[in-house]
A and B are shown apart, each in its own frame.
Chain A
Amino acid sequence: MRWQRRHVLSTEDWSRDEIELVLEQATAMLEVLARPIRRTPALRGRTVVLFFAEASTRTRMSFELAAKSLSADTSIITASGSSVEKGETLYDTVRTLQALGAEIIVLRHSASGAPYFVAERVSASVINAGDGWHAHPTQGLLDALTLRGALGDLDGKRVAIVGDILHSRVARSDVHTLVPLGARVVLCGPPTLVPSAWRGGSVPDGVAYEPDVDRALADADAVIALRLQRERQEAGLLPSLREYRSTWGITEERAARLRPGVPILHPGPMNEGVEIDASVAHGPRSLVERQVTNGVAVRMALLYLLATAGAGTEQAGDAAASPASPAEVPA
């Protein structure tokens, strides 16, 4: 299996082999991160631009750390508000990034599909760091790496994703990463926060909708709780955060009823006391911190694969784009 892609926009059209390749590479990167000096020269002299057009602290820091651990030159651009309000369009901005020599553009944007728009118009590689409600492929991959670590092979495993599915790029990318690895995904949340088509039974392969949280959790092998944005209540999509917690929250009582060893994930940042109780968020089942570490490794793996894929095509048979063992990643 060789890495072929120029962009990471969504894992929706990825094969299982491609996902496995990234997870293997990420595992190698975890060992780099465990070293006393967490830095390799793999991307020395390469330019990675982090273009965060939507506010983000965690994902931005994770990408920045990943790029720096590979010795890449990084620039960070943040912008807020819609392009139209700013008077500068997304197209203007990416043309500028291109002119400045960006080789990899990591893009976070509030509009679903924005990374496709950019990828069509630049010669750089584009990594989607989250677009609107659509996809967050590095989150899907880091959740897969985390669940692999906790459960081993995901074949036949049942993963319950609970919360605001409608507005969640995490839910979509989890589906598009875990299902190819053999998992079955159960989506659960208030009817107002699950797409109507999916509730009506037209769901992606490997996915089922379960309106009752206790049934969704009863036979789950793992649970992913999603962040509930407070604006949803203000927009009239649910009556109150209190009712949300009691009806769909991963409360201490619900966590206690899970089968032994069932892990709980959350993409962060958490609203403790709303979608997840504090005691669960920081309890023995929680893999939240593991997710953070794995996130850096997955992002290193993707940056490395994208930056070295070109070299691989120049020299046929070159192993540069195959998963590197820790020894092969220059220390």
Chain B
Amino acid sequence: MIVERVRSIDPEGHESARDVRLGDGDERVDGRGLVALPGLVDLHAHLREPGFEESETVATGARAALRGGFTAVCAMANTVPAIDAPGLVAELVARGHAARGARVLPVAAITRGRKGKELADLVELARAGAVAFSDDGDPVEDAHVFRMALEYGRSAGRPILEHPQDRSLSRRGVMHEGRVSADLGLAGIPAAAEEAAVARDLAVARLAGARLHLQHVSTAGALELVRAAKRDGLAVTCEVTPHHLSMTDAWVAGSRAFVWEDESSTGVPYDSTTKVNPPLRTEADVRALWSGLVDGTIDAIATDHAPHASIRKEVEYAEAAFGISGLDTALAVLLMAVQAGMGDIGSVVRALASGPARVLGIAPYADDAVLVDPTAEWIVGADALASKGKNTPLLGRRLRGRVVAAVVGGEVRYRDDGALKGRRRGHAEAIARG
């Protein structure tokens, strides 16, 4: 189709108004009020296959990604078994192709079995199709092993994505340590648990002289460490999640107000959909992350999509699994934040397109694109989510911003016919003619 006179944003975040071709066909669509985005790349998602297919599969995750505007999604390796052998990577690649949703980019484990002891066969994993390495879910605790991973990872030509968490500080914490955890009587995860790990990771990366990507940075202090390291010329990149850009630890106590909203909507305290690692932090952290996004300290926005079957969440807060299902809602939340003035659309698109591509060392996918209606409102209901994971604190909330079409490799793989119908050229004229 050809989308006419649409506001178009390129992978670097630059805007223009023009006609955009999506896939084949000569169908002409009125693009006024819509936004054409490049294909978005999610650096961080848990597709749960193999091992946790009741939470998500490659097929459902790839479709959820596409519905959410991501035309490529990195699948983390903390499955059972962990993705630490070339055959497993190849199988993921095959299932990703078969899903015909977003491109599925396998991330392989850094260490065998994700146990943090010995390196996995990084070069062979890369040859089989791994785009990066990560033990995400766990940090590589042993600093020597981490150094070897960074140094050896260079021969594989793929980045190391590290989950920064000092477990001796986070211990059995279940939420951010602060006033809210004190009042709720929940064990806290201090900001320092992330900051101590980031400081170590940066020191080791400096020693190794190798590139490092830090996952889900959530505190103002951690961001400041990355900013200083970049200033020193260290080859470090980092990502932030949509939930850390919009929600605070007050959500654990029942708030459902985004950081840019007045406190109004309230839910129930101790709702385990708010339990996520790293935890939802304070408003000051959220605001610091937005300035880091706008000034370029943050390279990418990644969902850390963590779907869970209800049995893992419908339990006491302390027992519940960590994670928020995020692929379906990420783009809407970010567009709402932009509309509220938290940051500019260019910075957000850059962090969803060229930024993650740079982290992976690839070019943005020129044949991918996404068409969005930024004013379409929808209610986050279990049925409205393409992901099998319904574990989001946004359940029941009204969001604004919806993907109406998504193109992968020049092929329209998703289109919302209902939304496009009234925009077909000729349609309005036909109605006018009666």
Contact = CB atoms under 8 A, between A and B. Distances in A.
Contacts of A112: 184-186, 270, 317-318
A197 interface: yes
A90 B188 CA distance: 23
Interface size class of A (residues with CB under 8 A): 20 to 34
Nearest to B311: A89
B419 interface: no
A90 B317 CA distance: 11
Given A113-B270, A117-B270, A84 B182 contact: no
B183 interface: yes
Interface stretch (B104-112, B173-181, B388-396): B173-181
Interface stretch (A35-43, A132-140, A273-281): A132-140
Interface string A108-126: 0101111011001000000
Interface centre among A90, A109, A132 (most CB of B within 10 A): A132
B416 interface: no
Interface string B336-362: 000000000000000000000000000
Contact of B317 (A111, A169, A204): A111
A26 B203 CA distance: 62
A83 B183 CA distance: 24
A172 interface: yes
Nearest to A118: B316
Contacts of B315: 83-84, 89-91, 117
A37 B397 CA distance: 55
B186 A133 contact: yes
B316 A83 contact: yes
B316 A169 contact: no
A109 B188 CA distance: 19
Nearest to A172: B185
Nearest to B317: A113
A114 B272 CA distance: 11
A268 interface: no
Contact of B316 (A111, A135, A202, A204): A111
A84 B311 CA distance: 10
A136 to B, nearest CB: 10
Interface in B176-220: 177-179, 181-188, 190
A134 B182 CA distance: 9
Contacts of B187: 133
B27 interface: no
Interface size class of B (residues with CB under 8 A): 20 to 34
Contacts of A131: 185
Contacts of A82: 319
Contacts of A133: 185-187
B179 A113 contact: no
A196 B177 contact: yes
B269 interface: yes
Nearest to A194: B182
Given A89-B315, A111-B317, A111-B319, A116 B182 contact: no
- The interface residues of chain B, by DSSP majority, are classed as loop
Contacts, number: 75
B432 interface: no
B268 interface: yes
A198 interface: yes
A120 B268 contact: yes
A195 interface: yes
B253 to A, nearest CB: 10
Contacts of A12: 183
Contacts of B179: 197-198, 202
B314 interface: yes
A284 to B, nearest CB: 34
Given A89-B311, A91-B314, A84 B319 contact: yes
A83 B182 CA distance: 24
A113 B269 CA distance: 7
Given A116-B268, A117-B270, A135 B319 contact: no
Given A112-B270, A116-B269, A196 B316 contact: no
A198 B190 CA distance: 14
B185 A132 contact: yes
Contacts of A116: 268-270
A132 B268 contact: no
A263 B181 CA distance: 31
A129 to B, nearest CB: 15
A195 B177 CA distance: 9
A172 B190 CA distance: 21
Interface centre among A83, A90, A111 (most CB of B within 10 A): A111
Nearest to A199: B182
Interface in B304-352: 311, 314-319
Interface string B259-297: 000000000111000000000000000000000000000
Given A83-B315, A109-B316, A169 B185 contact: yes
B185 A135 contact: yes
Contacts of A111: 316-319
A9 B13 CA distance: 49
Interface string A51-94: 00000000000000000000000000000001110000111000
A128 to B, nearest CB: 12
A162 to B, nearest CB: 18
Contacts of A117: 270, 315-317
Contacts of B318: 111-112, 132
Contacts of A169: 185
A62 to B, nearest CB: 21
A201 B134 CA distance: 39
12 contacts: A89-B314, A89-B315, A90-B315, A112-B185, A132-B186, A133-B185, A134-B185, A169-B185, A172-B183, A195-B188, A196-B190, A197-B178
Given A82-B319, A111-B317, 4 more contacts: A112-B317, A134-B186, A197-B182, A198-B179
Per CB-CB distance, the 9 closest pairs between chain A and chain B, nearest first, are A113-B270, A195-B182, A134-B185, A133-B185, A111-B316, A197-B179, A112-B185, A197-B182, A202-B179
